[in-house]
Structure 1
């Protein structure tokens, strides 16, 4: 009997040691790295959300960078160079020099389709939405209508969402098989500069540049709510939703917004921040039928 009790106590001790070791691993930096990739004029930087450390990824880009996206399958960051009229990419986290993927006339929004290795982007003044392969080949126009700006992709349901910047500003969506094109929200006078989708809750989020409102709706445009008023005018840029949190470029600051709970500044920069993207090193590409 005493031998059995000793074995039981030894097992509890071992279990406690394993639990303590796991806890120590979490608090000493062995967890998956989570980084916020963001752009200032001419630069792309990485903010380590666990340590707060900031590192330069690319410098001397010589342009405003309105959007950043990541190809998890092939390990590239893609970004649009507005004033240089092209889309570029570089490897990350193993850094390489940026190279041009395709030329584009004053590109604004850009997004990666991880299932089909496509790059989509909007050109505000040509009023065109383009697509090419991830290496820049087979470039084609898939839509032309109003002045276009922000862009995001619902890759599960195969919808592209984009904002328009005409007389009557709106958020629209295009089925990737070209079977449907819908206006889902009339924004009226507000320019939408950033959009992102919460795939876990099937909600669309967007930022309104002029009044600083962060808003949300269902994917079909219903049940619109105001998530946050940033209280700043003409300084509100890109957003990215990750695990229920919305990361926002708000003038010189980066905000972390938990809808209905909190909003706080996580980083202050000396210049304007244009685009944001959360990179999770443990991210997995999932396929949907």
Structure 2
């Protein structure tokens, strides 16, 4: 689904079936939206913006993919597999699939392409970062028995943002220092969707799409209500457009 910030209108882009989608990422160079279908064991893409949203299969039989990340500059797609505990990579067209490493319950992956760091959430233990060639792996923060299923990075301010199962939205510098609580929802559940753009954080809380300023103490604004839970968000920002693409079940 597509939510337009200017008009608050919602457009259904495609119906991909009853499959959980825990991540969305965009290839700005080739203009494709990528997402994994957890229960269908694949990663697919469609052209965006485009009137033709026909799905193309990129990776098939990848067990249970959750997080994905696009590196357009190097023609790479990265993803993590919760069941196999693997980090894998392929070309953007799905060729040259390679298993790179193993992790402990990996669920989310984000890339800082400029500085060549990848950030990975090990859902029940840590948030860590690693060089693209896996030569340097560092723990950013321990999750202290509070599972995390969503995380995003702000490469301009060099900060990470995530929401734990207790409903605490937290932030820290990309070296793990200066940990802050941005807000507390006081709603204990798994949070799957978050995306940071500019001074705002966009996130899903059950069946609500919300926005909050990155400053501590800011109050969230409800942008849209859906009938089912929101599992992933991608904020598309190009040529004056600011559009949220989100998945719900």
Q: TM-score, normalised by structure 1?
A: 0.79
Match of 1:34 in 2: none
Q: How does 1:33-182 map to 2 (within 5 A)?
A: 45-94=1-50, 95-103=52-60, 104-166=62-124, 169-182=125-138
Larger CA Rg, structure 1 vs 2: 1
Tell me if structure 2 keeps the 8 A contact 1:62–1:84. no
The alignment status of 1:259 with 2:214, answered yes or no, reads yes
Greater helix share, 1 or 2? Answer: 1
Q: Deviations over 1:51-80 (max 9, x none)?
A: 001000110333000000110000000001
Query: Secondary structure, in 3 states, of the residue corresponding to 1:122?
Result: strand
Q: How far apart, in 1, do the equivalents of 2:94 and 2:35 lie?
A: 13
Where in structure 1 do 4 or more consecutive aligned residues deviate above 2 Å?
none
Count of aligned pairs: 236
State the 1:165 CA deviation. 3.1
| 1:23-68 alpha-carbon deviations (Å, 9 max, x no partner) | xxxxxxxxxxxxxxxxxxxxxx000010001000110333000000
Matched residue SS, 2:74: coil
Q: Could you tell me whether the CA contact under 8 Å between 1:174 and 1:180 is conserved in 2?
A: yes
Partner of 1:26: none
Counterpart-to-counterpart distance in 1, 2:188 and 2:27: 33
Q: Shift of residue 237 of structure 1?
A: 1.5
Match of 2:244 in 1: none
Distance in 2, matches of 1:61 and 1:130, equals: 25
Gaps of 5+ in 1: 1-44, 284-289
- What TM-score comes out, normalization by structure 2 length? 0.91
